[in-house]
Amino acid sequence: MPISPYLDGERVDPEAKRVLGLAFELVRVVLKTGDCDDDVYRAIARKLIDLNKAGEHNAEVLCEQALKAFREPPADQVIE
């Protein structure tokens, strides 16, 4: 599944689009998304785009960071 429909007008160069697309597929495989709701794919894409904008350009690292973000509870829900 391509990431293009979820770029929402973001301007990315061809290499960034390739890397984002690869990271998108990696996250989908690890999370076993199958036929998820479109909002799930949009959330994955948004996280990857944000990480890419923050300076990460390696597909594997993008995948790891996105997965970490999805697996950790929000800071306001952390129980100490």
Mean pLDDT score across all residues of the chain: 91
If one compares 73 and 9, the residue with the highest pLDDT of the two is: 9
- Whole-angstrom Cα distance, residue 78 to residue 18? 35
Mean pLDDT, rounded, for 36-63: 95
Residue 13 CB contacts under 8 Å (≥ 6 apart), including other chains? none
Q: Is residue 26 over pLDDT 60?
A: yes
Q: Is residue 75 over pLDDT 70?
A: no
Write out the residue range of the structural domain in which residue 39 sits.
Answer: 4-77
Confidence class for position 36, pLDDT limits 50, 70, 90: confident
pLDDT, residue 42, reads 95
- Whole-angstrom Cα distance, residue 51 to residue 65? 8
Class of residue 74 by CB neighbours under 10 A (exposed 0-12, middle 13-18, buried 19+):
exposed
Residues of the chain above pLDDT 90, percent: 75
Query: How many domains does the chain fold into?
Result: 1
> pTM of the prediction?
0.86
